[in-house]
Structure 1
Amino acid sequence: MNVKPMGIDGRRSVRLASVATVTLLAGLLSGSGSAAEEGGAEATVGYDCALPGGTGRVAVGVTTDFPESGTAGTPLESGPVTVDVRLSRADLDTLVPAGTEVVASTAALDVEVGQKDRSATARWTDLTAPGSAIPTEGDMSLAHTGAVPSVTLPAEGDATFTAGRLTVELRPVTDGGAETGTASGTSVTCEPAPDADRELATVPVSGDAPDPWPSQSAGTDRSTDPAAKTGGTIAVEPGKALAADEDPCPVDPPTGTVDWSDAPKPPEGAPVTELDIPGGGGLGCAYAVGLANVYKLNGAMIVNDPAKNPGLISVEVNVHRGLRAKTAEGGTYLRLDSLANLALPDADSTFLTFGFQPVSAKVEFENGPMTISTGNIGDAPNKKYFATASFTQSLRIHDVKVNGTPLDVGPNCRTEKPFKVVLNGDFPKYVNVFLGGPMNGTVDIPAFSGCGTGGEDLDNLFTAAISGPGNVIAMNQGMTCVPTDSSTFCPPTMPALPGQETPVR
């Protein structure tokens, strides 16, 4: 997969960048329903929603990733979807408590699947939208994303997908989400408007022969019909579900202690009271995926690739608090610190050293404890929110090949010292550790040491190609699953890579 570097002139042809790139952790409607084209379809559907002030018309955009065609008897995977619900400020005022600044939501959409005179309903559930700031005026867009169940069509013929009932649960985020994550929700039920074009997509389905069962009439010979595989009906497979005894968060508690030294400091004034919170908000887990640049190589690479068994963040939520009261000298300061560990799998990397020599390698990560600090400084109308994630990291390079030929770099080719990674999220894109969101930063990669065997010293080669300042990181943290807290999101969902989020239309 080729990725254009972030913040770097992409005119120079560079294959996915360097060994060091993978170390830089931490690094998301226009028209009516139409046939699927090039693996995707978009539709805008008008809905009538039951609101506290009466029935209101709401525009809902549905973006899907349907395949161009399907085969009878074979599951048809529609891929991730986005359901973008647009609510007016007036409607929002009736749905969330007064003073709410940020709202998160979960949506479920019934999709009717039809083929000739057969039909079934697929439930697209657990589509989540992270916390977003409520605008002072105009419409608000809540873009819900998630995976949906596959559908198996029994025979040859076009399959149509049509939007049905929609439910949305809104959850106001209190005090910037810093203290308790999300509050209890308000559920809204919506039905397609009578005049709405509800078609999402039409997918042609092929078979070994034309459908010998054109209608479900009695006396039809079904012995050779592909529909026999599904009993002549459309089969909707459930989405991935957890077994009763399956842990939605299979991680060990993080080790180490929180270090909030990289979080924003309070204005001068009275001291901040620091307090440990035993147990905090509970043990949780989340995915974090991202992209990183290596400045010298003018290249970028995927970090913790979601397509390659990515690692989970283990996080003890809000185990420490720094607080100064509004009435104290210097004003309000609130900081909540979460302790996290991230175990990344070894990563594959391919890059062009000095712009012409192809080199591939594997990278082993050594990450120190991570502190995620969120909070706010000051009071309205000058209240400012912050989010910072910081940790130390070292990396070891092994299984190196130069132009396909193995190069023995020894067992201890690594950065000569750990380096600091500090990432910052901007409110409201990153509200708190529960809701996650994008974070960005730059790092300085140290020199390499211990590289080479048999008297061959390769330290300078890796140092010259990789080490140095100005390496940009962009990551996206998914929502945090805390199994003991029903208000959070389990199992953890995979966030989009930075730059690949579904755009708000």
Structure 2
Amino acid sequence: MSILRSRSTRRRALLAAAAVAVVAGGAGAVSGMAPATARQERAEDSVRCALPDGGQVETPVEVGLSVPDTVTAGTPLAATPSVSVVLPAAAVAALRAGGATRVSGTASADIALRQGGKDTPLPAAEVSAEAAALPADGDLTLALTGPDVLARPVEGTAALVLTGLSARLRAGADGTADQAVDCAAYSGGGELGGTTVTAAEQAAAVERPAAPAAGLKVTFDVDAVTTVAKVGADIAIKGELETFLDIFAPPPSPVTGTLRLSDVKGAYLVVFRFMPVVNSISFAEGAVTGTARVDVSQQPWVADIDTVSDISLRLYEVKQDGVDLGVGGNCRTVRPMTVALKGDVTLVPGAVSEFATTADLPAFGGCGTEEDLDPLIGGLVSGPDNPMTVRLRLKCIDTNCG
């Protein structure tokens, strides 16, 4: 397998700053790997790591990327990554002798979509494992998982290629500072899985229905707060939700609509507890679909809703310590973020209905005017289970809307 070492100086500096902020140690990667199939066959290798006591250990690493056998052109190809790192018994004993009782880990795999002899970089696959207790003896295996890697291939054949992999481990104990398990850094290449991309007309399209022209029009003011889980920062979001509800259809009644959110200017994040980042966010119009059960036999009417909103985000004016990172004007989520709302809505103008939910923040693509910043942006903010509080204030119903 060829070794790929080309990196721009600026990207090295940014990624190094991010890595140092997470762990005060080096990173290991895998080269010479065999392809993984859609059935999640494992690709195996090992890396040499330096333990805190100065000892060296060969650490087995396995990588898997579950790729579907076929995908339709124009729809996302979602591949599920997984990485496992095995600390041998000798390394476990050495860490325990140094006072450690647990080990945690993260990894970042650089993936490219290969079609027609051309490789297109994708957002990095970020995986992690919670801290695991060191066993009294024997090996310790850390299983790292994370959100899907997404690509949009064109008709033909496509493959997902590993262009680099870094793993970062931390060993620690209650009341003591964590220590890094330093590993040699490598870059590599090789296919992890392939798929057949069929023409769009060869597969049945699965689409959410468009908003109907008829029905009871219900409009809400939206006031939401989402917490970016990776950095613990709250972002306030405001906008308007326009829905159509057919209350006379057999229950559950269909709900469709459009979500329009205002730009968020100058959102402030503190990354890795010391790196201030300011950015602005815009949102494309989002489709809302779902169902509602409306009780019209009593006053006030109450709708028990079960809906999903699709929200696409664009980041711009991203600055770190006042320095523009140059993400450009097309730094967007590679797929919409889906926000599910379930519960009761009181159908009275002025009534406020509140929901607590979570949403996965997808990876970003198209970031960077001079270099690929997708892995950096995704590593900073993308990830699962971001808490959200959504308040809907009913603004008007049907013809009462001004």
User: Computing the radius of gyration over CA atoms, which structure comes out larger, 1 or 2?
Assistant: 1
Whose strand fraction is larger, Structure 1's or Structure 2's? 2
TM-score (norm 2): 0.42
